[in-house]
Amino acid sequence: MEDHLIEHYGGKPGAQQYVPQCESDGQFSPVQCYGDTTYCWCVDQDGREVPGTRSHDVVKPACLPSVAPPTVRPLPRPDVTPPPNTDITLLYAQGQKIGALPLNGTRLDGARSKTLLTLHGSIVVGLAYDCKDNQVYWTDLSARTINRASMAAGAEPEILINANLVSPEGLAVDEKRRLMFWVDSNPDMIESANLDGSGRRTLFDSDLVNPRAIIVVSSTGTLYWTDWNREAPKIECASVDGQNRKVVVSDGIGLPNALTYDSSSSQVCWADAGTKRLECVSPDGSNRRVVHPSLNYPFSMVYYRNHFYYTDWRRDGVIAVNKDSSQITDEFLPDQRSHLYGIAIATTQCLSGIVKC
């Protein structure tokens, strides 16, 4: 295709002309731009534009790949290697694997990080953890599935949902009600199901363009989610049964990728790749404040003990921000460099503080 276009442009396309950008394996790059301009958009695996992603912003849209990179051989077994003996572990999605990063207090213990699960041909994006059954849940963009595995040595993945999913991204688990919630950013829907995949139902299928992050606050029975539609980004909430939907934030945001809940202040917090800010707000829209004014490119975030931990696309790592000092206090960069997606907290026992309102 590129050869035909270059011929069409008379040998060399100009800076303002469009030539499809491709990955080394011949797939379309998820982000496409006109030449050297800031006019960019997302495409699917066939190169078709994804609605609601077009922008002239210096910050390129937060496009996810739809085709897994080539698998490196030899293939490790797809079974669980539990994290080291520690009370709190951050789990992070990195394409074809889920990594485990222990916390020592609130510090990132990079020396004890390890791969929890290797998943060939997958693009793991959304992550959630159920402390009652000690299981990790994830969405797989490549296989178009929702899966789980016990955090026990040798445990193998279990597919929960493998039909009528196109681009499952954010995922949340309600430990109290034994439900999971996810966004599908292609048909633009938010759905729920029991933790075993049964009882699936659609909660919302209107007024969504690019839904990405979703969280559930068990104690209040409230869902929150982000929509990074470049025309009208917003953060919304509703009850877990799909009632009382309302917009929480719609002004002063750009690419709200990451979302978490600060149980100590009962505030919803988000990290925005467009404005570069980490902000918090009360559920009624009051008391909005900036925690950090200049992040790099946040994708997903969790809150624990006065710290925000987020995955960053510029650094390809996990970054820690102290809520009280507003300072970046720590970072972890995996040896293998590639984008990190979802992040979740795994605990040896259920911490009421994580979901307490």
pLDDT tier at 336, thresholds 50, 70, 90: confident
State pLDDT tens for residues 294-326. Answer: 999 999 999 999 999 999 999 999 999 999 999
Lowest mean pLDDT among 117-121, 143-147, 254-258: 117-121
- Cβ-Cβ contacts under 8 Å for 335 (sequence gap 6 or more): none
* Residue 280 clears pLDDT 70, i.e. is over it: yes
Q: Measured between alpha carbons, how far is 350 from 43 in angstroms, rounded to an integer?
A: 40
219/263 Cα distance (integer angstroms): 10
- The whole-number average pLDDT for the span 326-330 is 95
CB 55 within 8 A of CB 71: no
Residues 326/291, Cβ–Cβ less than 8 Å: yes
Topology of domain 1-64, CATH: Invariant Chain; Chain I (4.10.800)
Cα–Cα nearest to 313, from 7, 33, 65, 109: 65
pLDDT attached to residue 7? 52
The CATH 2.120.10.30 domain(s) of the chain lie at 88-355
Q: Is 111 helix (H, G, I), strand (E, B) or coil?
A: helix
Which of these, 67, 100, 50, lies nearest to 344 by C-alpha position? 100
pLDDT digits (tens, 9 = 90+) for 177-204: 999 999 999 999 999 999 999 999 999 9
pLDDT tens, residue by residue, 204-243: 999 999 999 999 999 999 999 999 999 999 999 999 999 9
Which residues have CB under 8 Å from 309's CB, separation 6+? Answer: 90, 108, 301, 302, 303, 318, 319, 320, 321, 343
Segment 63-67 shows an average pLDDT of 91
Q: Side-chain half-sphere of 340: how many Cα atoms within 13 Å? A: 32
At 234-263, the pLDDT tens digits run 999 999 999 999 999 999 999 999 999 999
pLDDT band with cut points at 50, 70 and 90 for residue 80: confident
User: What is the average pLDDT value for the chain, to the nearest integer?
Assistant: 91
pLDDT exceeds 80 at position 354? no
Q: What confidence score (pLDDT) does residue 357 get?
A: 25
- Percent of the chain past pLDDT 90, that is, above it, reads 80
CA–CA separation, 113 and 125 (whole Å) = 19
pLDDT at 351: 66
- Give the pLDDT of residue 278: 98
Q: What is the average per-residue pLDDT within 114-133?
A: 95
Positions of CATH 4.10.800.10 in the chain: 1-64
Distances, alpha carbon 335 to alpha carbons 75, 94, 316, in Å? 18, 12, 10
Number of Cβ within 10 Å of residue 228's Cβ equals: 26
- Rounded Cα–Cα distance for residues 209 and 203 (Å): 15
- How large is the average pLDDT for residues 154-164? 95
pLDDT value at residue 13? 56
Q: What is the pLDDT of residue 35?
A: 86
Residue 113 scores a pLDDT above 60: yes
How far is CA 157 from each of CA 22, 117, 137, 150, 263, rounded to the nearest angstrom? Answer: 32, 9, 9, 8, 31
Residue 356 has pLDDT above 80, yes or no: no
Task: Write down the CATH superfamily of domain 88-355.
Answer: TolB, C-terminal domain (2.120.10.30)
**pLDDT in the model for residue 15:** 58
Q: 11 pLDDT band (50/70/90 cuts)?
A: low
The percent helix, strand, coil of the chain (3-state, each to 5) is: 5, 45, 55
User: 114 vs 24, which has greater pLDDT?
Assistant: 114
Confidence of residue 5 (pLDDT cuts 50, 70, 90): very low
pLDDT at 242: 96
Q: What is the pLDDT of residue 75?
A: 74
Cα separation, 192 vs 352, whole angstroms: 23
257 — phi, psi (to 5°)? -80, -45
Residue 9 pLDDT grade (very low, low, confident, very high; cuts 50, 70, 90): very low
Any idea what DSSP says for residue 70? Answer: P
- Is residue 213 a contact partner of residue 257, using CB atoms and an 8 Å limit? yes
Does residue 147 have a pLDDT over 60?
A: yes
The residue with tokens 């006019």 is 39
